[in-house]
Amino acid sequence: MALRLKTKLSLGLGFLFVVIVAFGTMGIYYINRLGNDAEMILKNNHESLVYANNMLKSLDMVMRDSASLNSFEKNLEKQETNITEPGEREATNELRKNFEELKANPKDPSNYEQIRTSIQQINDLNQQAILRKNNVARQTAEDAKLWLTIIFTLLMLIAFSFIYNLPGVISNPIRSLSEGISAIANKDYQMRIRLEQNDEFGDLANAFNVMAEKLDEYEHSNIAQIKFEKSRIEAIINQMKDGIIGLDDKKHILFLNEISEKLLGLKESEIVGQYAADIAIKNDLMRTLLQDVNGKSELKIYADNKESYFSKEIIDVITNGQVIGQVIVLRNITFFRELNEAKTNFIATVSHELKTPISSIKMSAQLLEDERVGKLGAEQKELITGIHEDAERLLKITGELLNMAQVETGNIQLKLQATQPSTIIDEALQAVLVQAEQKEISFKKSESNGLPLVNIDAEKTAWVLINFLTNAIKYSMEESTIELGAISKEKEVEFYVQDHGLGIDEKYLPKIFDRYYKVPGTLDRAGTGLGLAISKEFIEAQGGTIKAESKIGEGSRFSFTLKSV
């Protein structure tokens, strides 16, 4: 049964632990034995030798000093309590017997020789014991040296084996795994790791091989299709006449097509992968493209040796509800702008040229109505009336077209001056009185004399209010009432016209100020659909806002707000 890596390490380290414990235990045991042997020598035999030497000294002085008997007595008593060796007790008893005889007659030296003999016997017994115990201690030290050397050698061999083998056991599989991961990172999905181990490293190698096999299958099954799709997309993007710039979710540049390269003056190979904001530091166009992250805008760029116009659109790339990048599209609208300018110039020219003959027709019709020229019959008067109405309608249309041409070319000329709101309201009301009388429509005007002045172009502002009133009269019922006036707000004045006519469906209100837009189902066939669009441009040019509110069957409320002085 194969051992796991954890088990191998546990067994090896456990064995080392056991050997170290055994080495330490044996060392402590032998050290204690040596200590005990030395202690026995010092405590027992050496003390007996000291007592014997002291008694010999005291014996030599007995003849000169009787007090030496007391010293002899004390050392003999100590010796009697320190008998440790075989035969030492008999020698000590013999010494006691002879000493007692000496005490009885200190001046008699006849038994000195027996006393010396007993003391010498005690000395000999303890010296022999010291030699014997010293040999035992030496043998203990030799045994300790032998066993400790054996254990130390064993530990050295095991440690060397661990030092030699353990790094390889761990590092070799790791090195193989590292080489395999590097190969996978370089898309070498043929790489396999061969580890003949049934441990954790073996499991990891098997898992790696399974992963590499799956990646290899995926690579071979999809790489050709992916490459084809990538090449096809790149070809389509490069053939487009629009500039295309791709960014990832971190705003790093992914790709540019050829048009973008020309517009930016940069090569795709030089900036792919770079942070777009870093490019923008040195490139004005890139800086402009990054300023508005949402929506559309129009840019004027020098391209194709002339000033060209591009519409910028930023499209979010969304996957699974998450934005993973953006595509900036620069559409060349120079051709359409040129067409639009040509259309505007044509309309302005035609409208301007039409105003003079139409005015002449209107003047001629007025002369025909003068009886001094000649009396007209009923049918003739009816024809003259038709001529008047058609001329008025044509003059209105040409006037609106001229105003729109002025708006489209951006040449709105404003003559701003501080004006009373009541002046604008009265002027507009006076202009539509005749038209209102024809339908017996009355006006309810709010009090506006106490309102602050507004800094406006009076002519264009009155034109807007007249346009509101004209529409209100057109779509109001006969004998109805139209409300108009002005309201003071915070540093602003709101002008409004409220009718109670048919009303407008709310779904059409967002487009009501678009050029040429007509609400579906209206009875007006002669209008151009420009009046409200021109009104919006006139008001916004003066820094104001315009809005429409309406409900079907309840009428409409048109208003605009301008800043007060």
- Tens of pLDDT along 381-435? 677 777 766 666 666 666 655 555 555 555 567 788 999 999 999 999 998 898 8
Q: What gap in Å lies between CA 413 and CA 537, rounded to an integer?
A: 12
Among 145, 170, 195, the domain boundary falls at: 170
pTM score over 0.85: no
DSSP annotation of 193: -
Q: Looking at the domain assignment, is residue 207 inside a domain?
A: no
466-478 pLDDT, tens per residue?
989 999 998 899 9
Q: Give the DSSP letter of residue 541.
A: H
> Are 294 and 315 a contacting pair, CB within 8 Å?
no
Over 80: is that where the pLDDT of 218 sits? no
At residue 299, does pLDDT exceed 80? no
Give the CA dihedral 25, 28, 34, 36, nearest 10 degrees. Answer: -100
Long-range contacts of 103-107 (CB under 8 A, 24+ apart): 103/69, 106/62, 106/63, 106/66, 106/69, 107/63
- Residue 223 in any domain: the answer is no
Which domain, by its residues, includes 361?
338-408
pLDDT of residue 223: 61
pLDDT digits (tens, 9 = 90+) for 500-530: 988 888 888 888 988 778 888 665 555 667 7
pLDDT in tens, 145-184: 888 788 778 878 877 777 777 666 666 777 777 777 777 7
Kindly state whether residues 388 and 528 are assigned to the same domain: no
Q: Which residues pair with 331 in a beta bridge?
A: 311
Query: Does any domain span residue 32?
Result: yes
With tokens 């590499």, the residue in question is: 212
Let me know whether 428 and 559 are in one domain: yes
Give CA–CA dist 536/548, Å, rounded. Answer: 11
Domain endpoint, select from 347, 379, 408: 408
Q: Is residue 533 within 8 Å of residue 518, measured between CB atoms?
A: no
Number of structural domains found in the chain: 4
Q: What is the pLDDT of residue 493?
A: 93
Is 217 within the bounds of a domain?
Answer: no
Q: Which residue has the tokens 């009875």?
A: 523
Please report the pLDDT score of residue 497 as a whole number: 95
For residue 101, pLDDT over 60 is answered with: yes
Question: Which one-letter DSSP state was computed for residue 505?
Answer: -
- Both 163 and 268 in a single domain? no
Residues 427 and 308 in one domain: no
Task: Calculate Rg over the CA atoms of the chain.
Answer: 61
Whether 438 and 547 map to the same domain: the answer is yes
